[in-house]
Amino acid sequence: MRLLFTAPPGAGHLFPLFPLAWAALSSGHAVAMATTGANVDLAARSGVPVVDIAPDVDVATEYDRLNRETNLGGVTDPATARRRGGVRFAAMADLMLDGLVRHIERWRPDVVLYDPYQVAGLVAAHLAGIPAVLHGTGLPMRTFRPALDAMTRPRQYGLAEPPTDPAAMLNVCPDSVDWQRRHRGWPMRYVPNDLAGPLPRWLAARPSRPRICVTFGSILADLGSTALRSTVDALAEMTVEVVLSKGGANGYEIGALPPNVRVADWLPLSVVLPACSAVVHHGGAGTTFGALASGVPQVILPHGGDQPVNARAVVERGVAIMVESESAEPATIGEAVRLLLGRSSHRATAAEVARENAARPSPSDALARIAELP
């Protein structure tokens, strides 16, 4: 089988797709990742053959412009977030559609797998008459309709109405975390994944004190600084070992660090999180679901975008405590972490959810179902 994966710019859209891509490659299938911008390099650095579907576009500049115009930081109103998100992802999809259509004509995949925001994937598969499969990356969601509806490029292909539903949807959210009971599509195990790198030797050993991971994602460089400082201050006085990952972001201004905090520019969370007793983060889908799959209780300081929604779901499930990031005092954060480390039920519940996730069909199982699509 030939599987074409596709994701819009942004590492968060890309990394969740690799476990299925790897399962396909190691089952002998042909795989290609169609993306653009900085994601091209990130895909090549994950061992997956990649094709740039908008090579003539200065994606970085365009993406920055769209980011400024449709910034979701601090936006908590869902309708505004959907509208701005629609504009942004439709613009990116219009830029990528021609390249995606051309690549499908040449490479002739049997199926297209797309991130829910990569609406060009659904359109291009529809134009080629091959099945499209939505690959969830967190809480269950359909194809991001506001972007699909706002695309203009499909009209050049004589497509008056956007296609409706994909042939299948892969749902990576454990049912018990899906508190709104959406349960969409075929269940698949969530496999934590981020950019691979070296694990510092000291992190391979079991900690003598509880280890707390702190990360505020890769796109929150300036926005995360205040929350980060409060978190560091909160943990300074506790008998814990703190590992702070900057997630590859530059521009963090943290100031002087207490002796129990160690910083890394970047850490492979798939092997770091499982040895942690708690994680303090911003509520990005990758970290939220990575912690869920690793059985680690969470303190979440959401900033904007999908983060409050992710936080809500894991708080409802009893594996996380949410702290409003604008008003986050060190004392509040410290109290939340102490609660997770103490006698609260969060730890046991987190382990329960991790078991639930691990018992769901694996990416290989999902692949077997995809192979049966017409």
Partner 1 sequence: MRALLTCRPALPQLYAVAPLAWAFRADGWQVLVATRDDFAPEVNRMGLPTLATNENGLAALVGDWRPDLVIAQAPTPMPCRVPLIEYRWDPAATPAGTEADLVIDACPPLLRAEDNCPVLPVRHIALGLATSLETRLLDQPLVYVGGELPVGALEKLGAEFVYDREQRYRIPPDTDVVVHDGDSLLAVNALALGVPQCVLPRTTTAARLTERLSACGVAVSLQRDVADAERVAERVSTLLTFRDCRRRAVELAREIAARPAPTEVVRMVARRFSVRVPGPARDSGDEA
3-state secondary structure of 274: helix
Residue 158 backbone zone (phi > 0: left; psi -120 to 50: alpha; other: beta): left
Among 189, 246, 282, 303, binds partner 1 (CB under 8 A): 189
Residue (25 or 167) nearer to partner 1, CB: 25
Residue (205 or 256) nearer to partner 1, CB: 205
Determine phi and psi for 62, rounding to 5 degrees.
Answer: -60, -45
Give residues 256-315 in contact with partner 1 (rule: CB under 8 A). 268, 270-271, 274-277, 293-295
Counting contacts by CB under 8 A, is residue 369 touching partner 1? no
Residue span binding partner 1 (CB under 8 A) among the ranges 81-89, 128-136, 163-171, 362-370: 362-370
Residues 6+ apart with CB under 8 A from 121: 6, 100, 112, 113, 114, 115, 132
Counting contacts by CB under 8 A, is residue 349 touching partner 1? no
Q: Which amino acid is at 285?
A: A
Residue span binding partner 1 (CB under 8 A) among the ranges 119-127, 158-166, 209-217, 309-317: 209-217
Among 254, 338, 369, 371, binds partner 1 (CB under 8 A): 338
Residues 6+ apart with CB under 8 A from 353: 174, 176, 177, 292, 295, 317, 319
Among 205, 250, 259, 372, binds partner 1 (CB under 8 A): 205
Residue 139 and residue 75 in contact, taking contact as beta carbons nearer than 8 Å: no
- Shortest distance (Å) from residue 319 CB to partner 1: 13
Residue (20 or 249) nearer to partner 1, CB: 20
Both tokens of residue 72? 């979701």
Residue (81 or 353) nearer to partner 1, CB: 353
Comparing C-alpha atoms, which of 95, 90, 98 is closest to residue 61? Answer: 95
Q: How many residues bind partner 1 (CB under 8 A)?
A: 64
Distance from C-alpha of 212 to C-alpha of 227, rounded to nearest angstrom: 15
Residue (90 or 188) nearer to partner 1, CB: 188
Return the H-helix or E-strand segment holding 147: helix 145-150
Among 5, 22, 117, 252, binds partner 1 (CB under 8 A): 22
Among 112, 234, 240, 244, binds partner 1 (CB under 8 A): 240
With b meaning 16 or more CB within 10 Å and e meaning fewer, what string describes 96-127? bbbbbbebbeeeebebbbbbbbbbbbbbbbbb
3-state secondary structure of 201: helix
Distance from C-alpha of 260 to C-alpha of 292, rounded to nearest angstrom: 25
- Shortest distance (Å) from residue 1 CB to partner 1: 12
- Shortest distance (Å) from residue 223 CB to partner 1: 27
Give residues 149-178 in contact with partner 1 (rule: CB under 8 A). none
Among 128, 254, 351, 371, binds partner 1 (CB under 8 A): 351
Return the H-helix or E-strand segment holding 170: strand 168-171
Binding-site ranges for partner 1 (CB under 8 A) = 18-20, 22-23, 25-28, 30, 32, 40, 43-52, 103, 106-107, 189, 191, 193, 196-199, 201, 204-211, 240, 268, 270-271, 274-277, 293-295, 338, 341-342, 351, 354-355, 357-359, 362-364
